[in-house]
């Protein structure tokens, strides 16, 4: 969960202006948006303590001024943790 929490905190710090709606699948090697660089590192993956973790990020509009950010952090094809937050 540390990788997912750190990712969401970095998104909050950067602000809603630095997000782009869409699904970004690090398991498939989807590139970040070239305009604003979202999602930022550690997307698409991070190696920690010998384990490779891949991120799947979904960003969607939330209300009139926010974005819902979901991140799934995979450490195998069937094992993941999911976290989400709303930023404004």
Residue range 4-50, pLDDT digits in tens:
999 999 999 999 999 999 999 999 999 999 999 999 999 999 999 99
Counted domains in the chain: 1
**DSSP code of 44?**
T
**pTM higher than 0.85 for the full model?**
yes
Residue 1, pLDDT score = 85
53: tokens are 């973790």
Interval 44-87: pLDDT, tens: 999 999 999 999 999 999 999 999 999 999 999 899 999 999 99
By CB atoms closer than 10 A (0-12, 13-18, 19+), residue 59 is buried
29 and 69 in contact (C-beta within 8 Å)? no
**Parent domain of 50:** 2-87
């Amino acid at each position: 969960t540390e990788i997912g929490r750190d990712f969401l905190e970095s998104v909050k710090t950067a602000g809603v202006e630095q997000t782009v709606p869409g699904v970004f699948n690090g398991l498939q090697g989807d590139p970040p948006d070239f305009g604003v660089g979202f999602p930022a590192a550690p997307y698409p993956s991070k190696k920690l303590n010998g384990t490779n973790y891949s991120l799947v990020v979904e960003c969607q509009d939330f209300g009139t001024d926010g974005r819902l950010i979901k991140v799934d952090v995979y450490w195998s094809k069937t094992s993941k943790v999911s976290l989400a937050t709303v930023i404004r």
